[in-house]
Amino acid sequence: MKDLLGISDLTGDDLSLLLELAVGFEDKPGSAGDLLAHRIVPMYFAKPSTRTRLSTAAAVARLGGTPVTIGPDELQLRRGETLRDTARVMGSYAAAIVIRTFADADVRDLAAAAPVPVVNALTDGHHPLQAVADLLTIREHFGNLRGHRIAYLGDGGNVARSLMEAAALAGMDIAVATPPHYAPQAEAVAYATAEAERRGGRVLLTDDPAEAVEDASVVYTDVWLSMGDPDRERTRRMKVLAPYRVDDDLMDHARDDAVFMHCLPAHRGQEVTPKVIDGGRSLAFRQAANRLPATQAVLYALLTDRLEGHR
């Protein structure tokens, strides 16, 4: 397996390996500190970033390499050079390439042309690094993954998709509650449903947040507003997603030991109340910290050819 473009690139064994590696890198951050010695990893960011930018830079540094952050105005793409040509050139200098952009097609084109591993650090359709960190966080807190149910509430976009796919590969139950217009993509639902059933898990789609949260170990949400949403869409989202706000009343439908998770950044008072995200049941900032060992594990596994994928 050369690249990680989405969670569905992984097998169940691959995901388990990444979680084991991440745990190891938490305990011994510098244990593979010479893997990227004297090598660079370009990080192309077409979108603003806090956690992804910093955690990826730190992961590269922990593996002994030098991260090089590049924005869209710093390459020749806007002067007509193709993405494939850019990928071939970058790959001749680098050990791997990390890209955070909009269209999934752009990441696939980059990966097809690049001779080195490519990692999707977020697109409109996927957020695989976040999902690995999420499962790492759940495993740390509860000691295991199986037997636990995740309830995801809000917009069924990239975070929901990757989380749903990862939960399915781990044999977990996941309930996704969204307004009908904001449900996850049908192909993602089909994939997750099939993988979950193979491993003893279950995928539930509903428009009822209380139904999703019932008996959940984890209540998870994401921001309602995406970068670049037009004003009309923003107004619509605020209205139709309001019933999916996570507050104490909704958390009371979950298990007594349920935790709250959020990939951040958070808009307090919109998708979650301040009392929930800043309270004792919130793991949001543990998730953020876990982006570092999760990303370190992904880079290490790709660079050492440890992942099988669907070869």
Catalytic residues: 100, 127, 130, 222, 263, 291
**CA-closest candidate to residue 111, choices 275, 1, 266, 242:** 1
